[in-house]
Amino acid sequence: MQNAGKIFESSFKDSIPSDCYYLRLKDPASSFGAQENKTLRFSVSNPFDALLYSSPNIFTLELKSTKSTAFSFKGKTPMIKPSQIKGLTESSKFEGVISGLVFNMREPTNKTYFLHIVNFNEFAASTTKSSINEKDIINAGAVAIDCRLKKVKYSYRIREFIDEMKAELVD
């Protein structure tokens, strides 16, 4: 059985409009059980989870899902890894690239948000916290991604999200 995070990623992908290109970067084998495998000399890590192209923009996205109340970004085993923050930050420097984190709060709110990496970095630099909760995400300027529960899985309003992000670039 798939874990809830993989189900979220699958539902997100299934919600992508047909006129958009979506590429989920494959997780390297070393990312599975790397803590237990002491024989690994190094491990490759992806800069983010996915690329979404909707002309003329590319979105670099890191998808995170939790049933908890927050996403850790500091400590020994953070949910948001330094390499992911770095990858999103680097990709955001290019014209036409929209980079950020997609936060899925499964419980208790069942809400999903997009937070630009620039806003996330500003939050992280201005706090002593080691995690970001839903209130922090909203206060940092997140955009809600509307979703609807189908029979079992959610469907996400990705077209509306893309259009809102594009409109922000024009303003």
* Residue 64, beta-bridge partner list: 103
CA distance 60 to 163: 16
For residue 118, give the H/E element and its range. helix 117-125
Count of domains forming the chain: 1
81 within a domain of the structure (yes/no): yes
- Round to whole Å and give the CA distance between 129 and 104: 20
What was the pLDDT predicted at 111?
A: 94
Q: Is 165 a member of any domain?
A: yes
Indicate whether 48 belongs to any domain: yes
How far apart are alpha carbons 66 and 8 in whole angstroms? 10
Could you tell me the strand order of the sheet in which 57-66 lies?
21-24, 50-54, 57-66, 97-105, 111-116, 143-144
Region of poorest pLDDT, from 44-53, 88-97, 136-145: 44-53
Average pLDDT over residues 15-26: 95
CATH number assigned to the domain comprising residue 19: 3.40.1350.10
Residue with tokens 């299934």: 14
Which pLDDT score, from 0 to 100, does residue 161 have?
94
Q: What are the tokens at 50? A: 């996915």
Give yes or no for residue 56 having a pLDDT over 90.
yes
Instruction: Return the structure tokens found at 139.
Output: 């206060």
Residue 70 resides in a domain: yes
* Structural domain contains residue 37: no
Domain contains 36: no
Q: Is residue 31 part of a domain?
A: no
Res. 43: pLDDT tops 70:
no
pLDDT band at 34 (very low <50, low <70, confident <90, very high): very low
pLDDT at 149: 82
pLDDT tens for 106-164 read: 887 789 999 999 999 999 999 999 999 999 999 999 999 999 887 778 899 999 999 99
The DSSP 8-state label assigned to residue 162 in this structure reads H
| Higher per-residue confidence, 70 vs 109 | 70
> Could you tell me if residue 152 is inside a domain?
yes
Secondary structure element (H or E) that encloses residue 13, with its range: helix 4-14
Mean pLDDT of 54-77: 96
Distance CA 115, CA 33 (A): 29
Q: Is the pLDDT of residue 42 over 50?
A: yes
The pLDDT > 70 percentage for the chain reads 89
Domain range enclosing 126: 4-25+43-170
